[in-house]
Each structure stands twice: as C-alpha cells, then as structure tokens.
Amino acid sequence: MLLRLPGWPCLRCGECCRRYQVRLEPAEAEGIAGRLGLTGIEFRERYGDRRWPGESSMLLRHENGGCPFLERPAGSGDDLCAIHDFKPSSCREWTAGGHRQECRAGLARRWGLTVDSLGQPAGPDEKMRDFRLFVDSLVSDRRT
C-alpha cells in the first residue's frame, strides 16, 4: 500500500518534545506565563530548568522524560502539547518530515513503519492502513 504525503503532519509521537528542551526569551516566557495565569517568576520556578545559567533566557525543564507540557489524553495514543494554542515559537516552527530522525523514530515506534528512498512511509499493508486512518483523522483535528 502506498501513501504519499504531500507534507508530513506532526505524527503526535512526542519524540521531539522528549529529546529537546525549549529555550525561551523573557518576552515569550512572560507571554506563556500570562496565558497560564502565572507571573513570570512563578512560571520560571514551576517550569524552568534550574541548571540554566543567568536570567537572560530560560530553559523549560523536563519532567517524566519530556517537556512538562507534553501530555497523552486517557485512552489516546497521541502525545499532545497542552499549550498548543500558545506554544513556543521554536515548537511552532519545527516541521515534521521523512528526513527527520525524530519523525522516523516516532513512525517506527508508534506504527512499526520505516521511510522509503523517497522519504515516504513504508511497511506492511495493515500497518500502513492504521497509519492512513491516523493521517485522515488529522484533517478534522489540528492540535499539533
């Protein structure tokens, strides 16, 4: 079964949110803090990595092996961002793709698929069917 993705959607595998810590400039941290009903100081204390030096920027700490805003709703296999509507610019600008080792890892872990020489998902038909259902479901749900 072939599935040609014109552009890769976020696979909701959480790989990038587990691998990397997000750095925030003060203005962006303040903005997110405000959306969460926190002061900048409260936000930094609750979500900042205390090992990060200085106060000219902050690094989101990791909890349970990933970003503190990464969540998996009960009964779902999707890893979602709890602050998707106002997530950091570096998260919004990060695009998924078959060339990304993170997306390849998520594709393998979650669907048991690989990436072919054209950068497209490949694998057994039944796994490709599951993956197609997932991709189709994203059309009505754009949270990532």
Q: Which residues bind ligand SF4 (CB under 6 A)?
A: 17, 22, 67, 69-70, 81, 83, 87-88, 91
Backbone angles phi, psi at 73, to 5 degrees: -55, 145
CB-CB contact of 28 with 56 (8 Å): no
Residue 14 Rama label (left phi>0; alpha psi -120 to 50; beta): left
The SS3 of residue 40 is helix
Specify the residue, 87 or 100, whose C-beta has the smaller distance to ligand SF4: 87
Specify the residue, 17 or 113, whose C-beta has the smaller distance to ligand SF4: 17
Nearest distance, CB of residue 84 and ligand SF4, angstroms: 7
Nearest distance, CB of residue 88 and ligand SF4, angstroms: 5
Specify the residue, 26 or 124, whose C-beta has the smaller distance to ligand SF4: 26
Residues 24 and 58: their CA atoms lie apart, in Å, by 5
Nearest distance, CB of residue 117 and ligand SF4, angstroms: 30
Record the tokens describing residue 117, joined without a space: 């020489």
Specify the residue, 61 or 112, whose C-beta has the smaller distance to ligand SF4: 61
